[in-house]
Structure 1
Amino acid sequence: MDPLQFIISILLFLILFFGIGFILNMLLKTTWLPGLILYPIVVLLIVSEVPLGAYFTAPGQSLAHLGEQLTSLLMVDYVILSAGFIGALLSGLSIQMLRARGYRMF
């Protein structure tokens, strides 16, 4: 992967998940929903080729396939996905900080 493309991918995932998490935190009035629940589902959809419903109908096979897919990722992929997770966590921290300082959102 080109180094410039790698840096842009990191920034894109960080900003994308920060923005989505911030908006969801404001609308749903939660703090950690995007980071703890929604982000793993998004990563599951990005990494796995198995439909989401298969995790409920055939969990053993689906989780085995997910494990294979996760182990086949490159370090670059892990760094990019980690940047998205950091963005989701930063959105929760920023909402928490804004609420502590008296800002009311929606």
Structure 2
Amino acid sequence: MYLAQLIVAIPLLFVLFFGIGFILNMILKTTWLPLAIFLAVVIYVGKDVTQIFTVVNMVLFFSGLAGTVGGIWTIKTLRAKGYKMF
């Protein structure tokens, strides 16, 4: 993977998983479900991958994880301040 692709992929994955986690929290009203789904997908995809995890793969994993946790944290903060999501 080229450096330019990595620089674009990190914020892209963060925003993607932030949005997915935020929407799942609003619709299903379960706070930690997006994190469980994210980890289940990573484990499912990870066991099919025959190559060794590289630093690039781990950086992309943690950017997606940070987006998921960021979405969870945002929903929890909004609910604590009195906003009702759907």
Q: Percent identity?
A: 43
Structure 1 ranges of 4+ moved more than 6 A: none
Unmatched 5+ stretches in structure 2: none
Tell me which residue corresponds to 2:45: 46
Tell me which residue corresponds to 2:83: 103
Tell me which residue corresponds to 1:6: 6
1:6-39 Cα deviation digits (max 9, x unpaired): 011111111111110000000110112111x101
State the alpha-carbon separation in 2 of the partners of residues 19 and 44 from structure 1: 21
Aligned pairs (5 A) from 1:1-106: 1-35=1-35, 37-49=36-48, 69=50, 72-106=52-86
State the alpha-carbon separation in 2 of the partners of residues 75 and 21 from structure 1: 25
Q: CA deviation at 1:101?
A: 1.0
State the alpha-carbon separation in 1 of the partners of residues 43 and 9 from structure 2: 18
TM-score, normalization by structure 1: 0.74
Number of residue pairs matched by the alignment:
86
